[in-house]
Amino acid sequence: MQTPFPFQTDPAQTCFTNDLGVTNIGDPFVLQIAPDEYYMYCTSAPNGFYCWKSNDLIHWGERKMCYVRQPDAWCIDCFWAPEVIAHDGQYYMYYSAKSQAGSMRIGLAISDQPDGPFLDVRNEPFFDFGYAVIDANVFVDDDGAGYLYYVRDCSENKQDYLNMSEIYGVRLSDDLLSVAGDSIKLLTPEQKWEKSPGDTWWNEGPEMIKHDNRYYLTYSANFFASPSYSLGYAVSDAPLGTFVKAQENPLLTSGLRSDVSGTGHHSFTYSPDGSQIWAVYHSHTTPENPGGNRKVNIDRVGFTPDGKLFISGPTTTTQPAPSGVTTTDVTQRFQAHLTDSAPAAGTTANFSLLTDGMFSVSKRHAWLECEIAAEQGTADITLTTEKTLPVCGIALYPGIGCEDTIASVQLCLGGEKVSEQYIADAQAASPLLLYFEPCETDTIEISLSLREGSTAVTLSEISVLSTVTPKNE
């Protein structure tokens, strides 16, 4: 006999939207120093930088001034894009600012605490190659070698009729206190989406991430106050190139959407349990009025089996919280297949897409979706895992443009516990979030009823959420 169970309508802190409460900023960088301790630094003050603290990536405390320009400092204003790394028991902040001579440079300040106060190591720029530079990103490789990625700024880089922002890289000294070698140009605007109208083109905001011994140099392109401000990436087998830009760029963009604008200048960090990568980026606080007022967003990052970098965003709807906050994402421990184990007529589905940890938010990424034919208006999918797990919810991501296809959802856990029917009205957001009391199971049967006239359902992802494992286990 099956036991019925209800869905929870208001699960505390298990989900979030990209309305994190941090606005009037730019260029967010997040440093994680413990599983539940994050610090965020942003372009945020006329005379230095504020920082914010969080234990879950989604709730940020009151801002605190962590770096203040000193009266006799080498820099005067334009304090942009701070990034902080932990090194030798201290915290190193690399930042951009305008020098007394009126040219942009990169500075270095150090603190014993992640929230400051940060003090300049020397009363001079970190380096001076004789041209304007901004947007420092420091990457320390697995062998301990440090590299600095920076931007030769368009304010002092004119090529023919164009002002160009281009990305360079240089090796750092072992103590990360100086450059140690010649700089190398790594990226210049060349793809069609990067060539904004006008006489200025940008490749800026570099951020390095390494995956499977390959180096992914991510960056922003176009004007920061424009809706077209977006992210791209390039790949190399070595930290200083040669880098090849991805053909599927842009990596993250608002496109023609009206609910989000100007997605760019990002950093990477990890979920509290370390199982997920997240991109932290800014977008315009009011999409209908793009400009310098920007807010913080976070979205999931992943890599496809063939090595493509992917960001599941930009999202503006409710999403499951980062794994390890109040729930743990155990999706990749499950396999998906049709309940009757036989493909329905007309089904063109790669079921591994449903539990690969990535979901599509754009027609450009329709290859992340699978279409399942519905028999008599229903589609039944089963998720199975080898080990019984205490699951507490699922998130169903319909394919782009198919959000109103699903009329209702019902779950059966382990063949014994059956849920009430979840009714998805025409205004239901993507994903459909279905939470319930934790239940030990190795099987989740999902029955989807489709709206009249629909003969198939397109899904992008089914996320499975479990209760958080106590830290002492």
Name which of 3-17, 36-50, 343-357, 410-424 the model is least confident about. Answer: 343-357
Cα–Cα nearest to 268, from 303, 226, 229:
303
pLDDT at position 410 over 50: yes
Cα–Cα nearest to 376, from 459, 449, 457:
449
Q: Which two tokens stand for residue 86?
A: 């932990």
- Determine the pLDDT at residue 366: 79
- For 33-75, the pLDDT digits (tens) are 999 999 999 999 999 999 999 999 999 999 999 999 999 999 9
**Residues contacting 5, CB < 8 A, separation 6+:** 413, 417, 418, 419, 420, 436, 437, 439
Set out the domains of the chain in order of their start, with CATH numbers. 3-9+327-467 (2.60.120.260), 18-316 (2.115.10.20)
Q: Which two tokens stand for residue 354?
A: 């449903």
- For 347-356, the pLDDT digits (tens) are 566 888 899 9
CA dihedral defined by 71, 76, 81, 86, rounded to 10 degrees?
-30
- Determine the pLDDT at residue 473: 42
The arithmetic mean of pLDDT across residues 401-419, rounded, is 90
Whether omega for the bond prior to residue 343 falls within 30 degrees of 0, making it cis, is no
Q: Tell me the C-alpha distance between 39 and 111, whole Å.
A: 14
Mean pLDDT over each residue of the chain, to the nearest integer: 92
Model-wide pTM > 0.85:
yes
- Determine the pLDDT at residue 106: 98
Partners of 423 in the beta sheet?
408
- For 177-211, the pLDDT digits (tens) are 999 989 999 999 999 999 988 999 999 999 999 99
- Determine the pLDDT at residue 427: 60
- For 341-392, the pLDDT digits (tens) are 555 555 566 888 899 988 988 887 778 888 888 878 899 999 999 999 999 9
- For 207-218, the pLDDT digits (tens) are 999 999 999 999
Find where tokens 């155990």 sit.
Answer: 330
Please report which confidence band the pLDDT of residue 232 belongs to, taking 50, 70 and 90 as the band edges: very high
pLDDT at position 96 over 60: yes
Please report which confidence band the pLDDT of residue 413 belongs to, taking 50, 70 and 90 as the band edges: very high
pLDDT at position 5 over 60: yes
- For 441-466, the pLDDT digits (tens) are 999 999 999 988 888 899 999 999 99
